[in-house]
Structure 1
Amino acid sequence: MRNLLTKAGLFGSMSVAFGSMWWSQQKTESDPITPNPASNSADASSASLYELKLVQVLFRHGARTPLKSIPDVIEAQWVPTLLEAPPHTHIDYVVTDLEGGPRPPAPVEDSYRTKILSGGTFPGQLTTVGMQQLYELGERLRKRYVEETPFLSPTFVPTEVYVRSTNIVRTIESAKCLIAGLFQQKQKDVVSILTTEAESEILYPNYHGCQLLKLLIGPRWAELSTLPGVAADLQSILSALGIAAHQHVDFILIRDDMVARETHGLPVPPALSSWRDTVEERAVDMICHLYEPGKREALQLSVGALLHMLLDNMEKKLEDSSAEANSRKLFLYSAHDTTLIPCLMALEIFDMKWPPYAADVTLELHQNRRTGDAFVKVSYAGQDQLIPGCSGVYCPLQEFKHVLSAHSLNPDIYRSRCNSTGRTD
């Protein structure tokens, strides 16, 4: 399987999701996200009918160094000064496991540290630009949930805010920068950023921890070169860039390096400029083929456990009258593009554009002030979304649960399916 995936070009932005597999064997990024026209005035004007109960934010890390440079082209210089942390992003924080114990080993992060990019930095490191992006996302959340709606305390309170990250430095640092922006570096206690061991991570498609997912995705990688237009376009761009035929390069790798350069104002190979739109399109074609929403199981195993956790958080908020449940107001999950894309697919709101650095999917739980009925409102990069299958932007909780029922998996079923070699696609 490892050789198969190597030949398929298993690099680029997919690297974090597939990092566990390797271990076991803008300008800003992208186009601006188009607002969903379904965010209509009727829903906006009805906001006063609803009381906000819980907010969950699933977000991509900020801009970073590339995971692998395009071979045989002029390399950008990824120098250490690009990684300096702005003083306003500093907070007092600690990284622990999910139970508050020591941070687990980080084999995916360790794999990045075995390579050095031209200029002296490691692949996949959060840059100053990325830190500022997450700080600004935190500021946007502050405006929404502290200033416009007095929902959160203006100072970080650990009983109000739960912070979880994948066990990778760029996502941990991204969470830290978001908190700094959200609470303007004001905190009543140390911020605990929780993470877990690689085998049990559910904040990205886990090919090491879920053997069935590995079996499902492997052949799809091998099929990518046969997709209509992909192989021909790839050969043309490799020829234009002067990349040798023996190099293992795909559109995801090319896009990753290209966007990283653009975001940091570093030179892009001139021959690549005319190919930019094609690179974006083909990279998305590849990722869509891997998850194939029409074939449910791969998408379900990629994001089902995460979706169940988000739903479970909402149901516990409504059902649990304990002091801890009542005080918890915000869940933050620091993750990756390979987290957001399958989530957007499961919600049927993927816009066929690669999620930019610092993009977020936010789920708000509301209760109707008159009836007590629960509703969910979803936004993507700050734009409210009408979820297919929902009767409005404020989606009745039962409708929202039904929408996710095709992909959500409780932990027991997820583990059982992952350990199975059977398929239901």
Structure 2
Amino acid sequence: MRNLLTKAGLFGSVSVAFGSIWWSQQKTESNPVTSSAAPNPNDACPASLYELQQVQVLFRHGARTPLKSIPDVMEAQWTPSLLEAPPYTHINYVVTDLKGGPQPRSPLEDNYRKNILSGGSFAGQLTTLGMQQLYELGETLRKKYIEETPFLSPTFSSTEVYVRSTNIVRTIESAKCLIAGLFKQKQKDIVSILTAEAKSEILYPNYHGCKLLKVLSDPRWAKMSSLPGVAEDLQSILSALGIAAHQHVDFILIRDDMVAREAHGLPSPLVLNFWRNKVEQRAVDMMCSLFEPNKREALQLSVGALFHVLLENIEKKLQDNSAEANRKLFLYSAHDTTLIPCLMALEIFDMKWPPYAASITLELHKSRQTGDAFVKVSYIGQDQHIPGCSGVYCPLQEFKQVLSQYSLSSERYNSRCISTELAEP
């Protein structure tokens, strides 16, 4: 398989697909999300029957510059003025490793800095619009968890809030902007944003840190061009755009640049107006082929370690009285390619690419009558009825059963990652 970092064709597709991460890893889309599961009569129970215990939010960064421009078409001008931080997003913060030490080096960010777009900005950088989107997500959380329900203190405190981000500038800045909106720049402590070494990152599918995941995924990337209809559609749009045959372009790359332009009001080739829906559809088709739920192991290696952390946070809250366990809010700043496999594993993916600032929220509740624990999941503000759960307020044991088919402890994850023995065809 061609090396993901050095071969231009797959580099373009992967760096954009994992645009949110991979090795180089909108007018914001805001389609409402609905669950395909049938409503449960028990879900009519008022929220007052439950007491909120903990909130975990996994969110995508805000609008950014593209990871790679569509070649051979008119270029948008990505000027540095598009990246200016609004004063109201400023907070006192520090970026550390997971143990509070110096921030690790970021090979991914180094790679972005090698790619200067037309106009002078680097690829993959959070824009002013993206900062505003995350600030507004923070305001939404403030309204829900401070103003409507007095769950959080109105001033940031590290004893209440845990913040972790992938070690990439756009996700770190997104976390900062969310905190600014959530607490209106009021803070008792300096905000520590924790990051991991690239090889041990679990907030996205880690193809460099997990050997087996790469082994499982490489053939799928190679076969994507032969998916039903994809090759034909791609040839048609490349011809319509006038893109030379030698250029390595796919639907994920086209979508990434197209959506970034739309979000910032920058011009696009007129032909994309006709092709927009097909580009969206085919980009999603490609991602679904990569994370097919029926090929369980690749999906498990993509989300398993993260699911384990989320479940561990819940268990600590219920069983431990330590200061760490008493945290109320866990924030994880990540990518679209984090959210897609998570949604697929939960069986609530709506076949639409997660928009900028999309979020999955897990709320831990206790029944005021019985003391039993329940988990409520929402996506972009819409409550979800998770398949395998008896209601939107999912009994904890049912929720753990849903996640158990994918959850992996760090020991099991690391052990599987170094294996070359495939458990799936």
Q: Structures share a fold, TM > 0.5? A: yes
Q: Does 1:14 align with 2:18?
A: yes
Residues 221-244 of structure 1: per-residue CA shift (max 9 Å, x gap): 000010000000000000000000
Distance in 1 (alpha carbons) for counterparts of 2:366 and 2:127: 40
Amino acid corresponding to residue 2 of structure 2 in structure 1: R
Amino acid corresponding to residue 155 of structure 1 in structure 2: T
2:65·2:78 contact (CA, 8 Å) conserved in 1? yes
1:16·1:108 contact (CA, 8 Å) conserved in 2? no
User: Map of 1:277-288 to 2, 5 A cutoff?
Assistant: 277-288=277-288
Aligned residue in 2 for 1:266: 266
2:55·2:329 contact (CA, 8 Å) conserved in 1? yes
Aligned residue in 1 for 2:421: 422
1:125·1:169 contact (CA, 8 Å) conserved in 2? yes
Aligned residue in 2 for 1:374: 373
Aligned residue in 2 for 1:311: 311
Q: Larger deviation: 105-114 or 2-11?
A: 2-11
Relative to 1, partners in 2 of residues 1:213 and 1:20: Cα closer, same or farther, differing over 3 Å? farther
TM-score of the superposed pair, with normalisation by structure 1: 0.96
Residues 204-227 of structure 1: per-residue CA shift (max 9 Å, x gap): 000111000000100000000100
1:184 Cα shift?
A: 0.4
1:49 Cα shift?
A: 1.0
1:100·1:194 contact (CA, 8 Å) conserved in 2? yes
Q: Larger deviation: 179-188 or 315-324?
A: 315-324
Distance in 1 (alpha carbons) for counterparts of 2:32 and 2:46: 24
Distance in 1 (alpha carbons) for counterparts of 2:131 and 2:316: 33
Question: Matched residue of 2:52: which SS?
Answer: strand
1:369 Cα shift?
A: 1.2
Amino acid corresponding to residue 18 of structure 1 in structure 2: W
1:10 Cα shift?
A: 2.8
Aligned residue in 2 for 1:109: 109
1:80·1:120 contact (CA, 8 Å) conserved in 2? yes
Aligned residue in 1 for 2:302: 302
2:24·2:111 contact (CA, 8 Å) conserved in 1? no
Distance in 2 (alpha carbons) for counterparts of 1:274 and 1:53: 48
1:27 Cα shift?
A: 2.3
Residues 289-341 of structure 1: per-residue CA shift (max 9 Å, x gap): 01111110000000100001000100010000224422x10000000000000
Distance in 2 (alpha carbons) for counterparts of 1:415 and 1:47: 40
1:271 Cα shift?
A: 1.0
Aligned residue in 1 for 2:61: 61
Distance in 1 (alpha carbons) for counterparts of 2:306 and 2:250: 28
Aligned residue in 1 for 2:250: 250
Relative to 1, partners in 2 of residues 1:117 and 1:353: Cα closer, same or farther, differing over 3 Å? same
Residues 165-186 of structure 1: per-residue CA shift (max 9 Å, x gap): 0000000000000000000000
Amino acid corresponding to residue 161 of structure 1 in structure 2: V
1:376 Cα shift?
A: 0.2
1:20 Cα shift?
A: 7.1
Aligned residue in 1 for 2:238: 238
Distance in 2 (alpha carbons) for counterparts of 1:397 and 1:230: 41
Q: Does 1:292 align with 2:296?
A: no
User: Map of 1:18-417 to 2, 5 A cutoff?
Assistant: 18-19=22-23, 26-29=26-29, 32-36=31-35, 43=43, 45-326=45-326, 328-417=327-416
Distance in 2 (alpha carbons) for counterparts of 1:277 and 1:375: 38
Amino acid corresponding to residue 314 of structure 2 in structure 1: M
Distance in 1 (alpha carbons) for counterparts of 2:8 and 2:115: 17
Distance in 2 (alpha carbons) for counterparts of 1:44 and 1:113: 51
Distance in 1 (alpha carbons) for counterparts of 2:414 and 2:177: 33
Write out the 4+ residue segments of structure 1 that deviate beyond 6 Å after TM superposition: none
Distance in 2 (alpha carbons) for counterparts of 1:158 and 1:251: 42
Distance in 1 (alpha carbons) for counterparts of 2:132 and 2:39: 28
1:12 Cα shift?
A: 1.6
Distance in 1 (alpha carbons) for counterparts of 2:40 and 2:56: 22
Residues 133-162 of structure 1: per-residue CA shift (max 9 Å, x gap): 000000000000001110000000110000
Distance in 2 (alpha carbons) for counterparts of 1:20 and 1:261: 20
Question: Matched residue of 1:378: which SS?
Answer: strand
Q: Larger deviation: 212-221 or 317-326?
A: 317-326
Distance in 2 (alpha carbons) for counterparts of 1:333 and 1:40: 30
2:24·2:112 contact (CA, 8 Å) conserved in 1? no
1:13·1:67 contact (CA, 8 Å) conserved in 2? no
1:20·1:198 contact (CA, 8 Å) conserved in 2? no
Work out the number of aligned pairs and report it.
Answer: 419
Instruction: State the identity as a percent.
Output: 76
1:74·1:269 contact (CA, 8 Å) conserved in 2? yes
TM-score of the superposed pair, with normalisation by structure 2: 0.96
Relative to 1, partners in 2 of residues 1:39 and 1:179: Cα closer, same or farther, differing over 3 Å? farther
Structure 1 unmatched ranges of 5 or more: none
Q: Larger deviation: 10-19 or 171-180?
A: 10-19
Amino acid corresponding to residue 183 of structure 2 in structure 1: F
